[in-house]
Structure 1
């Protein structure tokens, strides 16, 4: 009897220690990582991004050659393709959040990680990491695909190419963080994608189409416009590339704060 009691007491003493070896933010991030790669959506989104990058950049180089455009950095091709490929990463980031709301499995996530903001932060970091890596891969692929059809209408300067690829990666990462924040705020895939499409693509096109100094100034503060200035890095923007980066960070932080506010206020 005494031996049983001793064993039970030892088991109880070991449980707290065992519990402390996992959990926390690393555990939340590991859980989100496993959940992401257990569904097909991220693979479909990343493959779609690769295909669109290859086709777009090859076409971009061909058009530049046919129209006898001035020589430009070869990295301009993948940078231009981001206007399309970014939405593959947006859909991926939105799915990270809204798929759990659609199936009510978010309740399980919040049960196992009761600190709600930790769940959101883990999903945001996951989307940022995937976006960062995808941005580098898209950039390298885009340069390789565009180089041949350019045929003398592009130059390859290693430092410029690397800076543009890294800028692409940062833009993709911050766009993913913004998408996660909007998804937590709206909780539906259709709503989140619609709002993100409007903010990232539709609204800037409307502002440019309407014209005028005031609307142009507003457009300069939009995430896609700021990202374009950051990625091109050609010095023709109304502000330095560092300011474009700060604008992107501000959009990502604002979206994350909105998502965190809704997550705290509303039941899952």
Structure 2
């Protein structure tokens, strides 16, 4: 019975995502940014082949595009999770799926899987575009799978972070501000504070973890792929826990 209800709620969430104009706008903007940047990188390297490191591949050329995919998909996840609270559509949603735990699972899974798949697919497309412009770089499968694994973790956890913030705040604007702060503003801001502990604190923020996974850079030298993955995962779980608690314990209009 639970599986049936979960399946029905998941189909409803999938339909809800694609029935609103904002989802198509997000899709077009993210695709234009990610693939367009891949075109620019490909043209730049084709015009100046020596600018690329000797061991570089087309996957490396498209790594920067993953940051645009991350920010775009997180914003998309926030809007998809919080919008019906602002419009009041959450009331008929809960009438359709009164078991809030089921709704939480369906909403989190469908939104996160959808935007992660799209974001990762666009990064693959951008890499293929770079390869088309500079075929000598190559597109080795093994390196691609390793890099895409980090892309999936970063975008997937970022999406869950956005969903959790959206459910916790029940405000698209507030959740977007918090997501931008945690991913983009606070990591470099905290890292540049004149205190010994600042860089360590910055490395524990989700933006630093995502940056390390996507670009291999972080505020401290001892960051590793494992620590970065644990950081973004911890923030994702914490955000979903906070958002889930409010969904389960608070009145829909509260």
TM-score, shorter chain, exceeding 0.5: yes
Please give the residue correspondences for 1:215-226 in structure 2 after superposition, counting only pairs within 5 Å: 215-226=198-209
Q: TM-score, normalised by structure 2?
A: 0.85
Alignment gaps of 5+ in structure 2: none
Q: CA deviation at 1:167?
A: 2.1
| Root-mean-square deviation over aligned CA pairs | 2.7
Does residue 132 in structure 1 map to residue 113 in structure 2? no
SS, match of residue 58 in structure 1 = helix
State the match for 1:197 in structure 2: 180
> 2:190–2:198: 8 Å Cα contact kept in structure 1?
yes
**C-alpha displacement at 1:198, in angstroms?**
0.6
1:195 offset after TM fit, Å?
0.7
Contact 2:65/2:123, CA 8 A, preserved across alignment: no
C-alpha displacement of 1:187: 0.7
Query: Which secondary structure state, in structure 1, belongs to the residue aligned with residue 51 of structure 2?
Result: coil
CA separation of 1:149/1:213 partners in 2, compared to 1, >3 Å: closer, same or farther? farther
Q: Say if 2:14 and 2:110, in contact at 8 Å, map to a contact too.
A: yes
- 1:68-88: CA deviation from partner (whole Å, max 9, x where unpaired): 242324223333223222222
Change (3 A) 1:217 1:120: same
Alignment partner of 1:80 is 2:64? yes
1:260 is displaced (CA, Å) by: 1.4
- Partners of 1:81 and 1:181 lie apart in 2 by 25
For 1:116 and 1:127, the matched residues in 2 are separated by 16
Q: CA deviation at 1:233?
A: 6.1
2:226 matches 1:253 = no
Match of 1:47 in 2: 28
User: Partner of 2:250 in structure 1?
Assistant: 266
Residues 209 and 62 of structure 1: CA distance in aligned 2, closer, same or farther (over 3 Å):
farther
In 1, Cα distance between equivalents of 2:40 and 2:195: 32
**Whole-angstrom CA distance in 2 between matches of 1:218 and 1:30:** 40
Gaps of 5+ in 1: 1-19
Q: Secondary structure at the match of 2:197?
A: helix
Counterparts of 1:219 and 1:155, CA distance in 2: 35
Q: CA deviation at 1:60?
A: 3.3
Q: Which residue of 2 aligns with 1:109?
A: 93
SS of structure 1 residue aligned to 2:62: helix
Equivalent residue pairs, number: 248
Q: Distance in 2 between matches of 1:22 and 1:120?
A: 14
Aligned mates of 2:198, 2:38 — CA distance in 1: 30
| CA-CA distance at 1:213 after TM superposition | 4.5
Please give the secondary structure, in 2, of the residue aligned with 1:164: helix
Q: Could you say which structure has the larger radius of gyration?
A: 1
The equivalent residue for 1:14 is: none
Instruction: Give the Cα separation in 2 of the matches to 1:22 and 1:248.
Output: 29
Q: Normalising by structure 1, what TM-score? A: 0.81
60 and 210 in structure 1: CA distance in 2 versus 1, 3 angstrom threshold: farther
**Structure 1's 149 and 218: CA in aligned 2 closer, same or farther, altered over 3 A?**
farther
Task: Give the CA deviation at 1:63.
Answer: 4.8
Q: Aligned pair in 2 of structure 1 residues 151, 22: CA closer, same or farther (>3 Å)?
A: closer
2:103, 2:166 → 1: CA distance? 13
Displacement of 1:136: 2.6
Aligned residues of 1:89 and 1:176 also touching (Cα < 8 A)? yes
